[in-house]
A = this chain, B = another copy of it.
Amino acid sequence: MVQRRANMRRIPESTIRRLPAYLRVLENQKETRTTSVALGERTGYSSEQVRKDLAYFGAFGTRGVGYDVSQLGHQIRHILGLDKNVKAVLVGAGHLGTALLRYTQSGVSDVQFAAVLDNSPQVVGSAIGSMVVEDIQHLESIVTERKIRLAVLTVPAEAAEKVAERLAEAGIGAILNFAPSPILTDQDRVLVQNLDLTLELQAMAYFVTEHDDLESPVS
């Protein structure tokens, strides 16, 4: 979960996290108009949910008609800040980092990675798609000079906290941490989202096992 800083809007975090899903549907849409029902079906949310989410930011639709696909797309991109060319740095050029980089390179309009860093001499200097891996030593200057606001961490668990500290010090705005170890410090300076894929997998195990024995105690 995202830990929030002091002055956030009164817009539910869950709403923000659904917006990219709506956006993707809109971008894959051929028709020029759509409705909350259609958007709901394609994203897995209810139509009321879709309407409420969009209405937080104003009245984008037309009653009796629906939403204009390209217009709504632009609105959402603006809300998310994707029209401002948000720059990100990827720290850790392993398999996971490479996968993420490839995803964002293939997509049309997205968060743009402005740097890929690693600490291994074997990896530094090599290319991943169109990006050349740079030395993590230069993290601070790269973040500052290229005005990078977003960091994605795909480093080993032991390195995560230290790298996060350096990123925070360099003035980054938010960190998406995939390392199998949560980042707990500096949450007043930086927005941190910990996303541990192995923990997700363990949680899934619960839902495929029988639980006859561990009934919740009747209170």
Q: Please give the residue numbers on chain A whose beta carbons come within 8 Å of chain B beta carbons, in ascending order.
A: 2-3, 9-11, 16-17, 19-21, 23-24, 41-44, 56-58, 78-82, 84, 86, 88, 94-96, 98-100, 102-104, 107, 110-111, 149-150, 152, 154, 173-174, 176, 180, 182, 184, 191, 193-209, 211, 214-217
Contacts and interface: CB of A to CB of B under 8 A. Distances in A.
B216 A200 contact: no
A99 B95 contact: yes
Given A205-B81, A209-B81, A199 B21 contact: yes
Contact of A88 (B11, B88, B201, B207): B201
Given A182-B44, A216-B9, A82 B204 contact: no
A10 B216 contact: yes
A111 B202 contact: yes
Contact of A206 (B41, B80, B88): B80
Contacts of A202: 19-20, 23, 80, 82, 110-111
Given A16-B206, A182-B21, A99 B94 contact: yes
**How many copies of this chain does one complex carry?**
2
Contact of A198 (B19, B103, B154, B205): B103
B206 A79 contact: yes
25 contacts: A2-B207, A9-B211, A11-B216, A16-B203, A17-B200, A19-B203, A24-B199, A44-B182, A57-B217, A58-B214, A79-B211, A80-B205, A81-B205, A81-B206, A96-B100, A100-B198, A107-B180, A110-B202, A150-B204, A174-B204, A174-B208, A176-B201, A191-B207, A191-B208, A193-B200
